């Protein structure tokens, strides 16, 4: 009869319970008598009490509490006078005791893997007095193991690798399973290993869990990865044992067991002859089933007619062979090339050399295509020389270019004017002869680098470039001159024959043998009694004094003409004037001052003191000028010019009203009323005889008192204020002044004016009112009819 897993576990539990009960009934232990135990003044000898040795099966699945064992004291006569109590680990929560009988039961399911034993203390008490009748004793309840835990792979799932082509029995990886059951009791924790998936390629050692290869010559290129399922089973693999599984992924690592092979035996590529040097012609690749370092290639040209013209290198990333150009191609010289190329593994594995050579060869044919090329000059650079004295139109040299194509098209020449901006040179379009177009000057530009263009007559877009370096040869066309502007001084106490200056010369020309200058004084200066010149014969000369006693009062500056001649052919000369100042010197001959005016200055008065005095004088002059200007401005009378229109003067006060809608601050009717009473007053800055500046008197109207007083107060403040500018006045355009024939012309009063008024009298007022007479008059000369 075949039992299931659950039934088998129940069967084992029943057997274990039976063995425990039968064994525990014979396992009673007696403790020796201890010292007498005294209670309530009454002595008696303490007797030992007996309990069973307890074992409990784990994982009890019954509905009733599990009987563990029985406690019994020899004091207990069975009359119910003794009660038993339990303390310690799990007391009352897991283990309970019948206080009358001493029977111990487990109320919960126990798991040995969580706790293997419990330590408790038992004691017998007098039920009436609740005092111990026996000393407290300690005992242990051990949990008996059953096979309730399957093996587990704590490190799974596993990954591992093994080289391809490994021999049988090559170790791959070791797997380990652990079982939580008690390894000291039965076979619950004894594990054996087996392989469920992965045959026939791999096997596993039953006891150690070591996985090994089971087949030879496993090829990574055929299959590179395997998934294994390993089982671990307890109970030594017997029926009823528990098992666990894990997966192991095994990857075959690559070895160099495949030689490189070109997919084709020959290749052909077409390239134009104009392809630049270092350009890529082709890429070829030998196939290799291996990967990584085992597939790294080396390419080389082993045969053919392209040595020196082409080279091949390897692309580290793609492992391709890259064919590049090393020299220019010329279709007219050679139309094709044939290369024999070999590819080989960089690192061959000696174990697999028997499989054949780890290299392969292929043929590459390169066809050169004809391209319409630009003309080519016979020389990359044409050096030429010409004298700077050459005449315009003279021939300097000739350049030559030809069409390298088979058509040999005629060539026309020109100069790239970007390299000859001043147009010094011309070139014959057909012959390539270069001539001068302007006069040349070596000192301006010693070398001219020009570019000559050669273009095909049949295809002007094809342009070749040649380079010409024209060196200008020097002639003696520049006279020598002083090397610098000399500042020469002579001391008043100089002695005769004393060198006061050493001079030299420069020449813009560059003779082949170097410069040689000759110095002398001019004929007029040869017999002077002050200075002489000595030619040092090394392109320098010395200026010497002829006398002593130079005085600044007599002459402070001397001018010495120096005649310089060069060694050219023909030689050139020039006269240069050396300025010599007479100075006051110290004891060491160092010039202190060279100004002749120093003698007329007061003794002991320094230059700083003079500057301070001049600054003070200038400051006083400025102050006096300002005072005079201000006084004249205050005294100037305010007399108006008759030709000036005083109505153009407007005085603005910063007292603002509330606008047209503000009818409470001021009465706007005051601006339209002509009958304003004013006292006649005269401005203190206006001449009294001028009558038109006086203000007429009118009868006042009480309603306008506030506005009138405000205006007159402002006028008084302006009259009294000494800082007020002159000629300030307030013009009231509602009234044009007393005695006006035309009376008021203000537009403020135009509402009440008579529109039929006759304005012919305006023509009688003179030329100043002619414009108004023309506009408003009714005569034949009026602008409006």
- Tokens 């924790």 belong to 189
Buried b (16+ CB within 10 A) or exposed e, 310-320: bbbebeeeebb
Mean pLDDT taken over the chain: 79
Mind listing the pLDDT tens digit for each residue in 322-356? 999 999 998 888 999 999 999 999 888 888 877 77
Q: Sorting pLDDT into bands at 50, 70 and 90, what band is 650?
A: low
**Can you tell me the distance from the alpha carbon of 363 to that of 304, in angstroms, rounded to the nearest whole number?**
9
- Cβ atoms of 143 and 110 within 8 Å: the answer is yes
Distance CA 385, CA 377 (A): 19
- pLDDT at 756 (0 to 100): 58
Would you state the pLDDT for residue 285?
94
Q: Higher confidence at residue 544 or residue 39?
A: 544
As a whole number of Å, the CA-based R_g of the chain is 67
Least confident of 1-5, 118-122, 717-721, 764-768: 1-5
- Kindly tell me if the per-residue pLDDT of 292 is higher than 50: yes
Q: Which domains does the chain have, with CATH numbers?
A: 53-144 (2.60.40.60), 152-253 (2.60.40.60), 266-369 (2.60.40.60), 376-473 (2.60.40.60), 481-593 (2.60.40.60)
The pLDDT of residue 457 is above 60: yes
Is the model more confident about 575 or about 526?
575
Distance CA 557, CA 581 (A): 5
The answer, yes or no, to whether residue 93 has pLDDT greater than 80, is yes
* pLDDT > 60? residue 686: no
Token pair listed for 549? 């006693």
pLDDT at position 272 is 93
Q: For tokens 């391709």, what's the residue?
A: 320
Cβ(346)–Cβ(331) below 8 Å: no
pLDDT at 542 over 90: yes
What mean pLDDT do residues 763-767 have? 74
DSSP, res 715: H
* pLDDT at residue 27 in the model: 33
Is 67's pLDDT higher than 90? no
Q: Which residue has the tokens 């062979």?
A: 321
Give the C-alpha separation, 435 to 415, whole Å.
11
Confidence of residue 429 (pLDDT cuts 50, 70, 90): very high
Average the pLDDT over 491-505 and give the result: 91
Give the separation between CA 127 and CA 116, rounded to whole angstroms: 34
If you count them, how many residues does the chain have? 785
The answer to whether residue 29 scores a pLDDT higher than 50 is no
Task: Give the pLDDT confidence score for residue 721 in this predicted structure.
Answer: 72
Instruction: Report whether pLDDT(570) > 80.
Output: yes
For residues 390 and 294, give the distance between their C-alpha atoms in angstroms, rounded to a whole number.
Answer: 75
Helices of type H across 178-326: none
Only one residue has tokens 């007219």, namely: 332
| Distance set, CA 617 to CA 612, 620, 626 (Å) | 9, 5, 15
Q: Can you tell me the distance from the alpha carbon of 449 to that of 416, in angstroms, rounded to the nearest whole number?
A: 11
> How many CB atoms are closer than 10 A to CB 163?
14
Integer CA distances (angstroms), 697 to 477, 682, 690, 700, in order: 99, 13, 17, 9
Give the pLDDT score at 477. 84
Is the pLDDT score of 386 beyond 90? yes
Q: How far is it, in rounded angstroms, from Cα 735 to Cα 746?
A: 7
Convert 506-548 into a string of H (helix), E (strand) and C (coil).
ECCCCCCCCCCCEEEECHHHHCCCCEEEEECCCCEEEEEECCC
* Under 8 Å between Cβ of 369 and 272: yes
For residue 656, what pLDDT is reported? Answer: 54
pLDDT in the model for residue 653: 55
Please state the φ and ψ torsions of residue 414, each to the nearest 5 degrees.
-160, 165
Per-residue confidence (pLDDT) for residue 471, from 0 to 100: 93
Contact at 8 Å (CB) between 126 and 217? no
Of 750, 746, 776, 748, the residue nearest 761 (C-alpha): 776
Q: How many CB atoms lie within 10 A of CB 545?
A: 19
- Mean of pLDDT values over 543-569: 90
| pLDDT at residue 748 greater than cutoff 70 | no
pLDDT tens track for 154-186: 988 999 999 999 999 999 999 999 888 777 777
Indicate whether 264 pLDDT > 90: yes
What is the pLDDT at residue 363?
95
Q: How confident is the model at residue 422 (pLDDT cuts 50, 70, 90)?
A: very high
**Would you state the pLDDT for residue 652?**
56
Is the predicted pLDDT of residue 35 greater than 60, yes or no?
Answer: no
The model's pLDDT over 95-139, given as tens digits with 9 standing for 90+, comes to 888 888 888 888 888 887 788 788 888 888 888 888 888 888 888
Taking a C-beta distance cutoff of 8 angstroms, is the pair 226, 218 a contact?
no
Dihedral of CA 616/621/625/631: which sign?
positive
CA 653 to CA 676: how far, in whole Å? 21
pLDDT at 28 over 60: no
User: What CA–CA distances, in Å, run from 72 to 52, 455, 468?
Assistant: 9, 131, 131
Name the pLDDT band for 15 (thresholds 50, 70, 90).
low
Q: Grade residue 588 by pLDDT with cuts at 50, 70 and 90.
A: confident
Q: Is 474 helix (H, G, I), strand (E, B) or coil?
A: coil
- Which residue matches tokens 């603002």? 656
- Residue identified by tokens 């100075």 is 583
The confidence score (pLDDT) of residue 533 equals 93
Taking residues 700-716, report their average pLDDT.
68
Taking 90 as the threshold, does the pLDDT of residue 365 lie above it?
Answer: yes
Confidence of residue 261 (pLDDT cuts 50, 70, 90): very high
Q: What is the structure's pLDDT at 600?
A: 46
3-state SS class at 774 = helix
Query: Which of the four pLDDT bands, split at 50, 70 and 90, describes residue 657?
Result: low
Class of residue 243 by CB neighbours under 10 A (exposed 0-12, middle 13-18, buried 19+): middle
Cβ distance 122 to 86 under 8 Å?
A: yes
Percent of the residues in the chain that have a pLDDT greater than 70, as a whole number: 77
Per-residue CA distances from 120 to 96, 350, 479 (Å): 11, 73, 132
4 vs 212 pLDDT, higher one:
212
Q: Please report the pLDDT score of residue 39 as a whole number.
A: 31
Burial class from Cβ neighbours inside 10 Å (0-12, 13-18, 19+) for residue 212 reads middle
Region 746-756: mean pLDDT is 49
């Amino acid at each position: 009869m075949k039992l299931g897993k659950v039934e088998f576990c129940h069967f084992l539990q029943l057997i274990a319970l039976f063995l425990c009960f039968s064994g525990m009934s014979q396992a009673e232990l007696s403790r020796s008598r201890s010292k007498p135990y005294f209670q309530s003044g009454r002595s008696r000898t303490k007797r030992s009490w007996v309990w069973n040795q307890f074992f409990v099966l784990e994982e009890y699945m019954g509905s009733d509490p599990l009987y563990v064992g029985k406690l019994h004291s020899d004091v207990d006569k069975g009359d119910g006078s003794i009660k038993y109590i339990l303390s310690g680990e799990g007391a009352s929560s897991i283990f309970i005791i019948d206080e009358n009988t001493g029977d111990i039961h487990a109320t919960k399911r126990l798991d040995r893997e969580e706790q293997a034993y419990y330590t408790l203390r038992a004691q017998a008490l007098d039920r009436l007095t609740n005092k111990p009748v026996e000393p407290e004793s300690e005992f242990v309840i051990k949990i008996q193991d059953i096979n309730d835990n399957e093996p587990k792979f704590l490190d799974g799932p596993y990954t591992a690798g093994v080289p391809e082509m490994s021999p049988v029995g090559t170790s791959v990886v070791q797997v380990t399973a652990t079982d939580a059951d008690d390894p000291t009791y039965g076979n619950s924790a004894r594990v054996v290993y087996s392989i469920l998936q992965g045959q026939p390629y791999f096997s596993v050692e039953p006891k150690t869990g070591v996985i090994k290869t089971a087949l030879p010559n496993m090829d990574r290129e055929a299959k590179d990865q395997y998934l294994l399922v390993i089982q671990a089973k307890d109970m030594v693999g017997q029926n009823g044992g528990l098992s666990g599984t894990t997966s192991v992924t095994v990857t075959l690592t690559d070895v160099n067991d495949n030689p490189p092979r070109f997919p084709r035996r020959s290749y052909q590529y077409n390239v134009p002859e104009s392809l630049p040097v270092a350009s890529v012609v082709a890429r070829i690749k030998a196939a290799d089933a291996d990967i990584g370092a085992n597939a790294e290639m080396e390419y080389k040209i082993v045969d053919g007619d392209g040595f020196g013209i082409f080279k091949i290198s390897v692309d580290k990333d793609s492992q391709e062979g890259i064919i590049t150009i090393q020299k220019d191609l010329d279709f007219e010289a050679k139309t094709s090339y044939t290369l024999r190329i070999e590819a080989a593994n960089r690192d061959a594995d000696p174990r697999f050399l028997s499989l054949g050579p780890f290299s392969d060869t292929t043929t590459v044919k390169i066809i050169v295509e004809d391209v319409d090329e630009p003309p080519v000059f016979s020389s990359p650079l044409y050096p030429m020389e010409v004298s700077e004295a050459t005449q315009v139109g003279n021939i300097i040299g000739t350049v030559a270019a030809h069409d390298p194509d088979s058509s040999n098209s005629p060539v026309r020449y020109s100069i790239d004017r970007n390299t000859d901006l001043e147009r010094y040179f011309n070139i014959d379009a057909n012959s390539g002869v270069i001539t001068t177009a302007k006069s040349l000057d070596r000192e301006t530009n010693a070398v001219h680098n020009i570019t000559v263009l050669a273009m095909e007559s049949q295809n002007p877009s094809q342009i070749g470039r040649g380079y010409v370096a024209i060196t200008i040869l020097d002639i003696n066309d520049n006279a020598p001159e002083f090397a610098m502007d000399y500042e020469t001084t002579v001391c008043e106490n100089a002695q005769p024959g004393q060198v006061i200056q050493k001079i030299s010369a420069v020449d813009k020309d560059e003779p082949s043998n170097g410069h040689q200058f000759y110095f002398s004084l001019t004929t007029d200066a040869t017999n002077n009694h002050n200075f002489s010149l000595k030619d040092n014969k090394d392109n320098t000369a010395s200026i010497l004094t002829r006398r002593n006693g130079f005085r600044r009062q007599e002459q402070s500056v001397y001018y010495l003409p120096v005649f310089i001649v060069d060694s050219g052919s023909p030689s050139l000369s020039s006269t240069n004037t050396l300025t010599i100042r007479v100075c006051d010197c110290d004891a060491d001959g160092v010039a202190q001052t060279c100004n002749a005016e120093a003698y007329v200055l007061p003794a002991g008065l320094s230059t700083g003191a003079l500057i301070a005095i001049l600054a003070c004088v200038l400051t006083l002059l400025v102050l006096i000028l300002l005072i005079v200007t201000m006084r004249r401005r205050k005294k100037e009378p305010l007399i108006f010019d008759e030709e000036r229109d005083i109505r153009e003067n407007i005085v603005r006060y910063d007292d603002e009203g509330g606008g047209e809608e503000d009818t409470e601050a001021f009465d706007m009717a005051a601006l339209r009323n002509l009958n304003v009473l004013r006292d006649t007053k005269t401005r203190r800055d206006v001449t009294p005889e001028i009558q038109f500046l006086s203000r007429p008197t009118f009868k006042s109207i009480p309603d306008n008192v506030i506005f009138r007083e405000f205006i007159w107060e402002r006028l008084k403040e302006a009259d009294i204020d000494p800082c007020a500018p002159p000629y300030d006045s307030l013009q009231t355009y509602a009234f044009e002044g007393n005695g006006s024939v035309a009376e008021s012309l203000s537009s403020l009063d135009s509402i009440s004016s008579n529109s039929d008024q006759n304005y012919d009298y305006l023509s009688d007022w003179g030329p100043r009112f002619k414009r108004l007479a023309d506009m408003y008059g009714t005569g034949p000369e009026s602008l409006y009819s």
